[in-house]
Structures are given as C-alpha cells and as structure tokens.
C-alpha cells in the first residue's frame, strides 16, 4: 500500500483543476477553504481498465447529482468531465488507474453558510492494484463490529457521495485496522445490516443473492452492476432487510465497490465464517471480464 500511496501523491502528476491541466505541486488550497472546515465537498471514484473508464458516464452523472443534493454545483457537463478524465489519463500515461473527481466549496466565506463560496472541481488519477492486497482475494477480508450505525435517511442526503458522510467510515477504518481487521460491518439506525465503511455487501444462499436495501447508504454503481451481472449468471437477487442474527444462514459473503471491485468476506464479528468462496470468486471473475471488456 505504501508504494501505491507514493504514486498517488506524486507532486509531478498532472491534475485537471477548474478546466485546466496543472501539475499537482502547483495547486494550493487555502486553509480558509469551506470544505476543509464543514465537509462541503463531493467526490467520485472511477476506475480505468486498459485505458477505458468503466461506467464513466454514470459516475459523472452521480457527481453532478450529488452536487445538486448538497448544494455543491459542479458547473461542468458529463461530456466535459468525461473529456477531462481522459485527458488526465493521457497526460499521466495511465491505462489502469483509479480516478478521483472532486468538487468543493472554496475560501471566500468561513461562516457555515456556503452559498457565497465558489465551487472548485479537480480530477486526478493514480495506479491502483488490489485494494486489500492480492492475498485477500483467496483468503477473504475480516469484518469487525462497530458501535456506529448508518443514520436515519431523514437526517441527510444518503444518496449523495459527499465527503462529510465518510467521516464515520474513516474513523472506523482506523480503529479496526489497529485491531487486525480489514473493515467493519455497519448496521442501520433500525438494527439491520447496512454496509461496510465504504462498500456495499452481499450474501449468497444457494443461487440467491441477498443484499440490504440502500435506504440509508449509497446505492453503489458497482453494487448495481453486480446485481445485473448475477441475474444473468442465474442468481435470484433479493433486496431486503437483513438481521445480524441471519448471518449464519448464508454460505458466503462479499463486498463491492469501485475500489474493492468484488472482495470475498472470510469472517464477520469473529462469529460468522465463510470458508466457501467459490461462488464469490466466480462472480468476481465475471465482473473483471466485464470491466476489462468495456
């Protein structure tokens, strides 16, 4: 992971910033930036395979929609963002990469109200391998419990990919890694299974795929892709409320996201074990075929 981070933070990398290609080291962000103080930012995570960005249009549509929901208007069209992303990949000579579009409120006013602050937009990219490491593909990840829950959807715009909504996830990632876990499984405000810190979760029982209803967390683009793909593979996909006590009834589990792709789960809470990963790896392989053919 250290090598990935060094590539990611290369100051000589090319970044698309407010309509122009710049060197990363030439971009300066003020300490008065509204997003730094109040989380008024939105972002996306896209992934390029063999020089093509998988579902780039859908990611940029969601970026714009997120901005509309939390009042961080992007100000660029999907086509403009698509062209900018392709330019970033070309300028950095990247074909297999993770791409981060982000928009945030600027530094004109430091009060809580953000309407008087400008909106900045940037896109940058870096090489990325397997999120948890190649060894975890066969072994699976281990999920810890957490005292925090996904909140009532009446409390925020849960379908916005907003930076402030990731604070709990960042906090829990820090804590669980110290305890030897890879991620946490979060419940929702009603006590049902929700998702992990930044990725969705699925469970397999025979030829059924069970997954929580995304009523208080992001309905991921990879999640939607896996639901469509699994249906074509013969699975019956069931979105429903899942109680933690049900976790022992499933034969396997996996998480999905642009960064993690499809990642098998080995254990949850040190109680529920999923040694049989054959079906998950089959779904993962079909997903990788899909993204590499796009």
- The tokens describing 158, both together, are 């849960």
Q: How far apart are CA 146 and CA 148, in angstroms?
A: 5
User: What residues contact residue 65 under an 8 Å CB cut-off, 6+ apart?
Assistant: 159, 160
Q: How far is CA 226 from the centre of its chain?
A: 14
- Residue with tokens 């939607």, as numbered in its chain: 224
DSSP letter for 162, please: B
**Is the Cβ–Cβ distance between 99 and 46 less than 8 Å?**
yes
Residue with tokens 């971009």: 27
- The angle formed by the CA atoms of residues 70, 165 and 245, to the nearest 5 degrees, is 130
Contact 43, 102 (CB under 8 A): yes
Nearest CA to 102 out of 157, 46, 153 is that of 46
Classify residue 220 as exposed, middle or buried by CB count within 10 Å of its CB (0-12, 13-18, 19+). Answer: buried
Inter-residue contact 49 to 292 (CB < 8 Å): yes
Q: For the chain, percent helix, then strand, then coil, each to nearest 5?
A: 35, 25, 40
Report how far residue 134's alpha carbon sits from residue 122's, in angstroms, rounded to the nearest whole number.
30
Rounded distance, CA 268 to CA 273, Å?
7
Which are the catalytic amino acids? 161
- DSSP reduced 3-state for 129: coil
């Amino acid at each position: 992971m250290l090598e990935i981070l060094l590539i990611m933070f290369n100051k000589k990398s090319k970044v698309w910033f407010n309509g122009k290609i710049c060197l990363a080291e030439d971009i300066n962000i003020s300490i008065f930036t509204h997003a730094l103080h109040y989380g008024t930012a939105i972002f996306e995570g896209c992934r390029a395979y063999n020089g093509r960005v998988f579902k780039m249009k859908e990611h940029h549509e969601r970026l714009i929609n997120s901005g509309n929901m939390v009042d961080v208007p992007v100000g660029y069209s999907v086509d403009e963002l698509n062209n900018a992303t392709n330019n970033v990949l070309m300028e950095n000579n990247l074909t297999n990469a993770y791409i981060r579009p982000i928009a945030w409120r600027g530094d004109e006013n430091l009060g809580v109200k953000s309407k008087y602050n400008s909106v900045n937009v940037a896109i940058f990219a870096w090489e990325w391998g397997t999120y948890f490491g190649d060894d975890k593909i066969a072994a699976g990840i281990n999920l810890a419990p957490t005292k925090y829950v996904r909140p009532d959807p009446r409390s925020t715009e849960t379908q916005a990919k907003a930076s402030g909504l990731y604070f709990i996830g960042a906090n829990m990632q820090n804590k669980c890694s110290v305890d030897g876990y890879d991620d946490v499984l979060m419940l929702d405000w009603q006590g049902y299974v929700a998702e992990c810190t930044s990725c969705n979760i699925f469970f397999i029982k025979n030829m059924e795929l069970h997954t929580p209803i995304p009523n208080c967390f992001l309905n991921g683009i990879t999640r939607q892709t896996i639901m469509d793909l699994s249906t074509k593979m013969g699975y019956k996909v069931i979105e429903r409320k899942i109680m933690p006590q049900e976790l022992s009834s499933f034969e396997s589990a996996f998480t999905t996201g642009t960064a993690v792709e499809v990642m098998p789960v080995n254990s949850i809470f040190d109680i529920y074990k999923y040694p049989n990963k054959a079906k998950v790896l089959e779904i993962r392989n079909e997903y990788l075929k899909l993204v590499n053919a796009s």
